[in-house]
Structure 1
């Protein structure tokens, strides 16, 4: 997959947002993507044999060309996934409501009830609710009632608040993951009773959940431990970065001779030094990691561990050497 960030502008100021630090122009030379860059991004998706255009921001519906972007992506045959906080202009809401329901979906991030009621009513099953976890005791209980009341897609996508470059945003530290895992396990049980499934965004690790929980999920245990890696995200100025939390770490220009696979290869090589660390000390001896069933958690969180804690490396001394 690949994400197209069409704007850095947003009408919220969430303390956990890892894109916030980039609004000062340090991550992208442009605040808003122009039409030529968007067309280049769609061409990149086509070269990469990706059939879904994932549009995000900031708040993407604030972009003055949002209607044109949606129309162009659909005209070129892409399915569309829009990431939104729900505070969208009427014109954008109307455009999404009028689009084919089988080709357009909205991942609507909510953080408290009652949510953006007009959007919930008009988009209905086009909506998948998303929730970003930034505290060890998140309130998830309002999500399922919203799904039932407004007949939304029977799915909740959970994400973790990862550290931005420099860690200035509010984010969930790995030492709190186990508390979150317990909370999710309880929520999953009540959600399943209403026919609501759970999807996990990147950064979750198997060891944060109670024993047996992942195996109990419908469809078997998800491969959550392997989901942290280079996406990439395409910024408004056309540069490609591993992801927003690592946007200041490495960039590649979006040219006509690259596709998603080649960009991932380059960016994976550049982030390999972080990948070897893992988010916990125990990652070094983890059987799941040795079996490649877990990658060691979020790269941005691993980078924070490198920055915040000194590392002691011990070298074995040959017994015959003095």
Structure 2
């Protein structure tokens, strides 16, 4: 629909967190290979795509989520450092650890350079005689043994079709008679000025961080060291307000920014607690915040990747691999049952 590169979806911007610090076994297993594939892409493209910074995870010490995270990382032997309260300030200056919180560091986590990665993938794809048809709006999809895709500029046919349309997934799936329980939310991507430049910078080895939610119904806060905007640290709330993808500029709710301002005042005293820059992106969220990686329930040659819920970018290479395996009729190299459409049977709607 848009001419590349563009900032209207969910994958733009300069940085994302890459980590193995997950509560779920399946994500850690997928990330093991994803790290390898990112390194392979980096080597083939000849461009730095990953910078190791470590990831500081803070959360209520006795909560189920934080305890599960520690146990899962331990069982998978993920390199980590547990920070005791008395040594926290020594290792992580300029961060106030909330009372009752524990802290650990995923030592191999870091920053992915997102825009740079997308350019590298597109360039390598084209160098392998791949053709990118950007700026074309899909008008119709006709299922069948041969799938036909009609756009504003042409008609394309193939034995299989992979749909990864982000916030517009349900709009395209309408043509196949399927609607998934996907919610599109607008995220305010906030950058906060350092009172003393360099306090929270990559060059000073400040880590990425995740503050796990303290209460039911609340969401994580995450941050990346100052990098893309010198002197500004990226700190965001991991949820936003529901919107239509083409109407997101009309969504002006700033409730998430109010939450961040209070958090920064309390826990990140080296930042000015008013955002210096506010950008936007969109999350496409499933009810359980897990991905959709599956074949269409009626048309097995239509493959769907959707609902990445704000944490899918780091999985990009392995998601591409398993979707291509599904499209070619191969057995996926990872267990995709947690990402199946059947889990939404009471929500997913079929009209054909």
TM-score by length of 2: 0.24
Structure having the larger proportion of residues in strand:
2
Name the structure, 1 or 2, with higher relative contact order (CA <8 Å, separation 6+): 2
Structure having the larger proportion of residues in helix:
1
